[in-house]
């Protein structure tokens, strides 16, 4: 027979190593949370010690919260190891509150977690019950009766307040509740009084869900898990039709859609797509998710199968009907928007951009790149500087990501353009020049006190045209290498 030694998890607090959590064997050995590790080893020399990993604990708690989304969309974290589930209106889907409590507890226990769960009308009352018992369901109005026999430590008010209550002879929650609220507030503060009232069911505070509830949600549960791509695609298409029908009743269209796939082993995969315009057709939703699924770097892995597929519209808008018979541009805009949505679903919305003009004379700030899905209409109406017909462009169509320095011999530069320059280890002889175009930095803005730039449009002997600028003015003598310390030359763009 294998002997099991007590195990504890320790963490460092105030330069002391204390027990953070422990198993049942450690409790039976006389250990407790908060006990110094040195004292614990003296009591139990065969103790097994593990270091606490708060990051991994948080990740595990969030994974459990994702799994709990199958029961209700309103799941909130209660760190370090608790969850709140708002099951209002959801319990009947699982056979009632008792059945739902059993399903959640049993499923988590099978995965190796120690579970303590309770149901009450307030979140604080339910949490207080779980610290002393499990499986308790308290009817509305019976909260005070349920928590009164529990010790004051079940409130979780902190070691200082708990010790103060015990010194005052208040050992149970019922003892504290028997005192007048103003007495408790004067001694232990208003936050503790509020906590006590919520535990007694005399007040409530809403939980803060990890994710905002979607505007519309439809789902399909499977008695037998599904794992094939064809079945998954068929059910996703059916859910898309159900979602569109629900939105159509209120004249809404989806701008952001999320498909969640719940595996039988507890893993959850959520895939989202955005749209440029409100979507009101099931076939469009189906096509976007096909594009997204086909382009995943990490393909959807059903494992032993999905027992729940959920489709939700987390962002919707009212659909504005447009005149389509007389305005041919509406059809063109719809096709362009649909194309952008499909490309964005495959490569990501941030990679499909349009450019908007900015009210500035600084070249690198004159154009703003924004996602095309959300700014297509603004890009269509944007006003750009008009080009004079027959004249060459004043500025290149595209600039370099960053101006690149070039080497210009000082001797060939009086106060104008260079006669030659070296860029990327190639020397170019200048044969034609236009300029300068002087641009001063925006001194009235923060960090805008840069040197003045003189831009030149130049052409070399091979016919290549460059847009270069001189950063600074010639106000100092050249250094030992023949160049002024305050002057630098850069190439900013290339003309076609």
- Which of 406, 419, 358, 361 minimizes the C-alpha distance to 384? 358
Q: Is the pLDDT of residue 115 over 80?
A: yes
Q: Note whether residue 211 is domain-resident.
A: no
In a shared domain, residues 303 and 434: no
Higher pLDDT, 22 or 443: 22
Q: Note whether residue 74 is domain-resident.
A: yes
Higher pLDDT, 476 or 341: 341
Query: What gap in Å lies between CA 206 and CA 213, rounded to an integer?
Result: 14
Q: For the residues 120-148, what does the mean pLDDT come to? A: 92
pLDDT given at position 21: 86
8 Å CB contact between 457 and 434: yes
Q: Note whether residue 427 is domain-resident.
A: yes
pLDDT given at position 74: 92
Query: Which of 156, 172, 199 is the last residue before a domain boundary?
Result: 199
In a shared domain, residues 192 and 72: yes
Query: Which of 320, 342, 369 is the last residue before a domain boundary?
Result: 320
Q: Is the pLDDT of residue 1 over 50?
A: no
pLDDT given at position 137: 93
Q: Is the pLDDT of residue 146 over 50?
A: yes
Q: For the residues 177-192, what does the mean pLDDT come to? A: 91
Query: Which of 384, 412, 430 is the last residue before a domain boundary?
Result: 384
* Burial state string for 210-238 with b = 16 or more CB within 10 A and e = fewer than 16: bbeebbbbbebeeeebbeeeeebeebbbb
Q: For the residues 28-51, what does the mean pLDDT come to? A: 90
Return the minimum-mean-pLDDT range out of 169-173, 294-298, 431-435: 294-298
pLDDT given at position 58: 92
In a shared domain, residues 469 and 374: no
Q: Note whether residue 208 is domain-resident.
A: no
Per-residue pLDDT tens for 224-233? 999 998 999 9
In a shared domain, residues 224 and 302: yes
pLDDT given at position 479: 53
Please give the mean pLDDT across all residues of the chain.
86
Coil/strand/helix, residue 14: coil
Query: What gap in Å lies between CA 483 and CA 446, rounded to an integer?
Result: 30
In a shared domain, residues 412 and 462: yes
pLDDT given at position 335: 83
Q: Note whether residue 485 is domain-resident.
A: yes
Query: What gap in Å lies between CA 180 and CA 377, rounded to an integer?
Result: 63
Q: For the residues 451-456, what does the mean pLDDT come to? A: 86
8 Å CB contact between 345 and 273: yes
In a shared domain, residues 138 and 220: no
In a shared domain, residues 410 and 490: yes
Coil/strand/helix, residue 148: coil
In a shared domain, residues 336 and 437: no
Per-residue pLDDT tens for 406-453? 998 865 555 678 889 999 999 999 999 988 888 887 777 656 556 788
DSSP at 154: G
In a shared domain, residues 150 and 78: yes
Show Cβ contacts of residue 190 under 8 Å, excluding neighbours closer than 6 positions.
none
pLDDT given at position 349: 84
* Domain carrying residue 145: 55-199
Return the minimum-mean-pLDDT range out of 215-219, 250-254, 258-262, 377-381: 377-381
Q: For the residues 373-380, what does the mean pLDDT come to? A: 82
What phi and psi values does residue 166 have, to the nearest 5 degrees?
A: -70, -35
Q: Note whether residue 204 is domain-resident.
A: no
Longest dimension (CA), the chain: 97
In a shared domain, residues 316 and 344: no
What's the pTM?
0.74
Query: What gap in Å lies between CA 87 and CA 80, rounded to an integer?
Result: 21
pLDDT given at position 130: 93
Q: Is the pLDDT of residue 458 over 80?
A: yes
**Percent of the chain at pLDDT exceeding 90:** 49
Q: Is the pLDDT of residue 474 over 60?
A: no
pLDDT given at position 81: 86
Q: Note whether residue 187 is domain-resident.
A: yes
In a shared domain, residues 289 and 310: yes
pLDDT given at position 373: 86
Q: Note whether residue 392 is domain-resident.
A: no
In a shared domain, residues 71 and 182: yes
Residue tagged 């422990």 (tokens): 22
Domain total for the chain? 5
> Which of 249-258, 338-347, 397-406, 479-488 has the highest mean predicted lDDT (pLDDT)?
249-258
Query: What gap in Å lies between CA 20 and CA 8, rounded to an integer?
Result: 7
Q: Is the pLDDT of residue 350 over 50?
A: yes
Q: For the residues 91-100, what does the mean pLDDT come to? A: 92
- Which of 420, 442, 440, 444 minimizes the C-alpha distance to 430? 420
């Amino acid at each position: 027979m294998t002997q099991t030694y007590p195990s504890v998890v320790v963490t460092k607090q105030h330069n002391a190593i204390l027990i953070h959590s422990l198993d049942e064997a450690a409790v039976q050995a006389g250990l407790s949370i908060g006990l110094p590790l040195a004292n614990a080893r003296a009591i139990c020399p065969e103790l097994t010690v593990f270091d606490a990993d708060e990051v991994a604990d948080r990740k595990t708690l969030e994974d459990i919260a994702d799994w709990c989304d199958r029961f209700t969309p309103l799941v909130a974290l209660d760190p370090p190891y608790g969850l709140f589930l708002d099951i209002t209106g959801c319990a009947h889907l699982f056979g009632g509150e008792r059945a739902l409590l059993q399903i959640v507890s049993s499923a988590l226990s099978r995965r190796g977690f120690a579970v303590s769960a309770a149901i009450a009308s307030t979140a604080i009352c339910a949490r207080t019950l779980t610290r002393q018992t499990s499986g308790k369901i308290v009817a509305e109005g019976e909260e005070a009766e349920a928590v009164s026999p529990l010790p004051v430590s079940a409130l979780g008010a902190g070691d200082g307040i708990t010790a103060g209550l015990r010194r005052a002879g208040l050992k149970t929650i019922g003892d504290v509740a028997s005192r007048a609220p103003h007495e408790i507030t004067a001694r232990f503060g208003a936050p503790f009084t509020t906590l006590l009232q919520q535990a007694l069911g005399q007040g409530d505070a809403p939980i803060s869900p990890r994710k905002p509830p979607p505007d519309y949600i439809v789902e399909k549960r499977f008695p037998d898990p599904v794992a094939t791509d064809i079945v998954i695609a068929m059910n996703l298409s059916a859910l898309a039709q159900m979602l569109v029908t629900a939105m159509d009743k209120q004249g809404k269209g989806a701008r952001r859609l999320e498909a969640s796939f719940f595996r039988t082993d507890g893993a959850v995969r959520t895939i989202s797509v955005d749209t440029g315009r409100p979507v009101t057709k099931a076939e469009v939703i189906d096509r976007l998710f096909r594009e997204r699924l086909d382009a995943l770097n990490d393909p959807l892995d059903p494992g032993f199968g999905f027992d729940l597929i959920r489709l939700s519209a987390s962002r919707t808008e009212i659909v504005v009907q447009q005149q389509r018979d007389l305005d041919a541009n509406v059809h063109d805009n719809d096709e362009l928007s649909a194309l952008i949505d499909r490309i964005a679903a495959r490569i990501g919305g941030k990679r499909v951009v349009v450019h908007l003009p900015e009210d500035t004379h600084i070249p690198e700030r004159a154009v703003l790149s924004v996602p095309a899905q959300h700014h297509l209409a603004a890009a269509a109406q944007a006003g750009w500087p008009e080009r004079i017909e027959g004249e060459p462009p004043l500025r290149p169509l595209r600039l370099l990501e960053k101006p690149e320095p070039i080497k210009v011999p000082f001797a060939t530069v009086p106060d104008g353009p260079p006669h030659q320059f070296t860029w990327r280890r190639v020397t170019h002889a200048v044969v034609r020049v236009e300029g300068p175009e002087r641009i001063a930095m925006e001194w009235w803005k923060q960090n805008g006190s840069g040197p003045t730039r003189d831009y030149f449009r130049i052409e070399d002997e091979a016919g290549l045209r460059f847009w270069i600028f001189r950063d600074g003015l010639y106000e100092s003598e050249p250094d030992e290498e023949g160049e002024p310390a305050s002057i630098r030359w850069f190439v900013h763009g290339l003309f076609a």
